Every structure is written in C-alpha cells, then in structure tokens.
Amino acid sequence: MKPHNAVASNVYDNAQESGYETQEKPHPHQQQASVHTSDDCDNKKRKCSSLEEHTFVSSTDPLIPCVLAHWGCRDKIRRSEVHEHCLTKLHQNCLLLCIHHYVLTIHAGMNNIQISADRSKPTKTDSDLSYTESISDLYEQNTQLYETLTILTGGIQTLMQDATRSTNDFAYLTSSVNQYCQEKVKLQQAVEEQGVQLRNIQMNQDIIQHELTLAKQTMNNSQQANYDGTFIWKITDVAKLKISAESGRQPSIYSPPFYSSFNGYKMCMRLYLNGDGLARSTHISLFFVLMRGEYDAILKWPFHFKVTFCLFDQSGQQRHIIDSFRPDVKSDSFQMPKTSMNVASGIPKFCPLPMLMQDENNYIKSDTMFIKCIVDFGEIPKMILPYTLSLNIGLPDYVQKHMIKTEIERRNQLSSQSQTINLPSTFQSCA
Ligand SMILES: [Zn+2]
C-alpha cells in the first residue's frame, strides 16, 4: 500500500493522464504578449512578475482542474498548490459531499445485494446466477471504491495534520528567529561596550605606562641625586646625541637634578653638544639650571653662588677642562623658580668642538663623557679648584674634604712664607 500522502497527488496524476479537462486554455499572456499585467493571471495566488516567468511556470507546472470538479470544486490549480488547495473550505465541502454520496451509494448497493440474495434463495435459474455474479462484481467494485475513499480521507486527514504541524513548526521557527535576532542585537551591544571598555583600558594602560616611566626616571634621579651641591654627570651614547644636536632634533640634553642639601636648592645642567647661539657648531655650551624645589619658599633668593663646570680628562693626565661663572643676581635665571625650571644660564663657549671631535681625544672615551658641576657655597679659592678636581672621587667625602682643607692650609703657609722671604709661589697640581 502506498503511503497516504501520496494518494492525493496520484489522484491528480490520474486526472491528467485520463485527459480529465487538462487542455489548458491559452493564457491571456500568450494572447496579448505585448501587454502583461499580473491581473491577467488565472492563478490569483501566484502573480507572475514577467511574461517569461509566466511562460516558465505554465510550462513546468500547468493549471489542472480539481479532482472534485464534478462535485462543485471548479478551481483550477497547479500541482505545486494541491496541498494548499485541499485545505480550502470549498474543496473540503465538495469532498464531504462526495464522501457522503459514495457512502449512501455503498449502503444502498449493500441493501440491494441483501434483498436480491434473499429473493434468489428459493429458486436459482441461470439468469439468477448471472445476476448474482454481476451483483458480486458490483459489490466488489463498491468495496474497492469504499477502500479508495477511506484511503483518500485518510490522506486528507494526514495532509491536514501535516499542515497543522507545519503551521506550528513555522510559528516555533519564527519565534526562535525573533529570539535569535534579539540575542544578536544584545550580543552586538555587548561587543560594542567591550570595545569601548578595551579602548578605555588601553588609554589607562598608556597613562600608567607614562607614569611608570616618569616614576622610574624620578627614582633613578633620586638614586643618583647628590645633596652637597655637586654632581658628576655621566653622558653615554655621545655620538648619537651629537648627531641629534647637529640635526636640531634635540639640540640640548638635561642632567638629572641634584641638590645643595636635603632641603636645599634643586639644580641641573643643560648641555648643547653642538653649541648654542653664537657658539653653535663651534663649541659645546654648558649651562646651569635652577629648578623648582620643595623648599624654595624658605630658601634665600636670588641664587648667588659660584658655579664651576669640569669636563673630565679620562686619560689620567688630569687635563680637565674647568670653567666657572658667578650668577648675575639680576637675571631671572637666578630668582626663585616660578615654573618647573628657570631659563638656563652658564658658559656658551665651554669647550671648542674640534678638541672633542678628534678620534683620540681624552674627554670622550667609549662614547661616554663625564661632566661635574660644583656649586661653591664655601668660597673655595679658585687656585684650589684644579686640586679638588684632581682628587680620586673614589675616596670617601670626608677624606676628600680633609685633603682639600690640608691643601688650602699648605698653600696659605707657602704663600705667607713666600711673602716673608719674597719667593715666587711654586704651585703644582697634585697628580
Ligand atoms: Zn478542489
């Protein structure tokens, strides 16, 4: 037995094969190919958007009359729309009419058979026999018809169940799709929010990184910081810095800050490796910078202490380049700093460039130079400076100070002796 679902379409197949009104009338489009409006279509449910489409649909899925046409269902339908058509009220009414008719016919046939059988019992002639046979045939035909109808009815029921199930499935799918759409929107929002958060985190990270760099710098500075008014500045990568200065990309560099005491003046050096102003390209310029410090408010201003710079000779020959200047107390550079640092002031022509540019010079070795700044708070005699700068800086501070004090006394003694015996001073730098 074929599955019930197949019955309905088989009925249509049979209808078509048997020439059951399958001759299609020429379609309006074929009659008036030049003017096409979709209202011309026989099929009101499927509108063709063009003549080509219409012709294609007509040829692959032609209009056929409903199998219940004789029972009043006069619609013409396409095979692809049979299921849809079977659910229409008109078709179902016609179907009920048809079933009702057949059921009545069968009952009537069966009653007739019973009556005929009863009548033919007493005397059976030849004509009675043939009549009985034809009745049996009729009975068999009726039985077959009844079976067909039962199958047809079952098929229709299955179709209706399928339709209900499909409607439910469709409703469920629609609600699922809606739900997914809502979830998608939510997800998109979440992704956007996360993007914003990520950008914020990135920004915060940059700020933290910047602050970390500053903190590292401050820590390095405070580790290197001196609190006695002197500072030895170690400058590395001189060649690179020199190129930067020459190109004007970075004309000057600053030393880390140092202090005159724990609560004292905050200062640093500023070095132009290719010179500044009039000394540009001829000398290196070295300046002193007063920086804004924590205790400026209770310090004495203007700053008036003598500043000495010393570029170290690294050959051990003690040919240091030493120069000093006294602050111009009227200059803004030496008033209490109002910004993070005052305008630099110092010695523009500290050292001629050619002296440093020789390959075998004693001041830049291994691409490194050392510059010392000494702020003189104790009025160190100028003559003693070379001596103080020649001392081994590896010696403890108190030893160096003692040696300087002894040297000053020795020189004073020599000076007074020379005045007494009128002999010239014989100073020699202690190597
Ligand atoms: Zn129909």
> Which pLDDT does position 65 carry in this prediction?
87
- Token pair 């649909």 is found at 57
Q: How far apart are CA 90 and CA 93, in angstroms?
A: 5
* Best CA proximity match to 15, nearest among 73, 64, 81: 64
Could you tell me the sign of the dihedral formed by the alpha carbons of 376, 380, 385, 388, in that order? Answer: negative
Give the architecture-level CATH label for domain 223-379. Sandwich (2.60)
d(CA 19, ligand 1 centre) in Å = 17
**pLDDT given at position 66:** 86
SS3 per residue for the chain: CCCHHHHHHHHHHHHHHCCCCCCCCCCHHHHCCCCCCHHHCCCCCCCCCCHHHHHHHHHHCCEEECCCHHHCCCCEEEHHHHHHHHCCHHHHHHHHHHHHHHHHHHHHHHHHHHHHHHHHCCCCCHHHHHHHHHHHHHHHHHHHHHHHHHHHHHHHHHHHHHHHHHHHHHHHHHHHHHHHHHHHHHHHHHHHHHHHHHHHHHHHHHHHHHHHHHHHHHHHHHHHCCCCCEEEEEECCHHHHHHHHHHCCCCEEECCCEECCCCCCEEEEEEECCCCHHHCCCEEEEEEEEECCCCHHHCCCCCCCEEEEEECCCCCCCCCEEEEECCCCCCHHHCCCCCCECCCEEEEEEEEHHHHHCCCCCCCECCEEEEEEEEECCCCCHHHHHHHHHCCCCCCHHHHHHHHHHHHHHHHHHHHHHHHHCCCCCCCCCC
Q: Indicate if the pLDDT at residue 9 is higher than 60.
A: no
Ligand 1 mean position to 430 CA, how many Å?
128
* 53 has pLDDT over 90: no
Burial per residue of 107-139, b for 16 or more beta-carbon CB atoms within 10 angstroms, e otherwise: eebeeebeeeeeeeeeeeeeeeeeeeeebeeee
Q: How far is the CA of 258 from the centre of ligand 1 (A)?
A: 105
Res 205 pLDDT > 80 = yes
Residue 267 backbone phi and psi in degrees, to 5: -145, 165
Higher pLDDT, 274 or 26: 274
CA of 396 from ligand 1 middle (Å) equals 117
Mean pLDDT on 64-79: 86
> How does residue 55 score in pLDDT terms, banded at 50, 70 and 90?
low
- The confidence band for 28, taking pLDDT boundaries of 50, 70 and 90, is very low
Query: Which residues have CB less than 5 Å away from ligand 1 (the ion)?
Result: 66, 68, 73, 91
Query: In this predicted model, what pLDDT tens digit does every residue of 282-301 receive, in sequence order?
Result: 999 999 999 999 999 999 99
More confident residue, 45 or 124: 124
Given a cut of 50, whether residue 16 has pLDDT beyond it is no
- Answer for the pair 63, 78: CB distance below 8 angstroms, yes or no: yes
pLDDT of residue 70: 86
- Mean pLDDT throughout 119-148? 79
Cα separation, 55 vs 29, whole angstroms: 8
**Which pLDDT score, from 0 to 100, does residue 187 have?**
96
What is the rounded CA–CA span in Å between residue 12 and residue 22? 10
* Domain(s) of CATH 2.60.210.10: residues in the chain: 223-379
**Residue 220 pLDDT exceeds 50:** yes
**Measured in angstroms, how far is the CA atom of residue 100 from the centroid of ligand 1?**
16
What separation in Å is there between the alpha carbon of 9 and the centre of ligand 1? 12
Residue-wise pLDDT for 379-409, tens only, equals 677 778 888 888 888 888 889 889 988 988 8
Q: Dihedrals φ, ψ of 154, to 5°?
A: -60, -45
Whether pLDDT at 97 is above 60: yes
User: What is the pLDDT at residue 421?
Assistant: 61
Report the alpha-carbon distance of residue 262 to residue 294 in Å, rounded: 10
pLDDT surpasses 80 at 115:
no
Pick from 2-11, 97-106, 192-201, 366-375: least confident? 2-11
Calculate the average pLDDT of the chain: 81
Question: 265 pLDDT exceeds 80?
Answer: yes
pLDDT of 1 > 90? The answer is: no
User: How far does the centroid of ligand 1 lie from the alpha carbon of residue 152, in Å?
Assistant: 13
pLDDT tens track for 348-362: 999 999 988 887 889
Residue 23 pLDDT more than 80?
Answer: no
pLDDT (0 to 100) of residue 117? 66
Q: Report the distance separating Cα 310 and Cα 374, nearest Å.
A: 8
CA of 88 to the centre of ligand 1 (A): 8
CA 140 to ligand 1 center in whole angstroms: 28
63 Cα–ligand 1 center, Å = 13
More confident residue, 135 or 14: 135
What's the mean pLDDT in 143-163? Answer: 87
Ligand 1 centroid to 145 CA: how many Å?
19
Distance 6 CA to ligand 1 centre (A): 17
pTM of structure: 0.50
Residue 107 or residue 330, greater confidence: 330
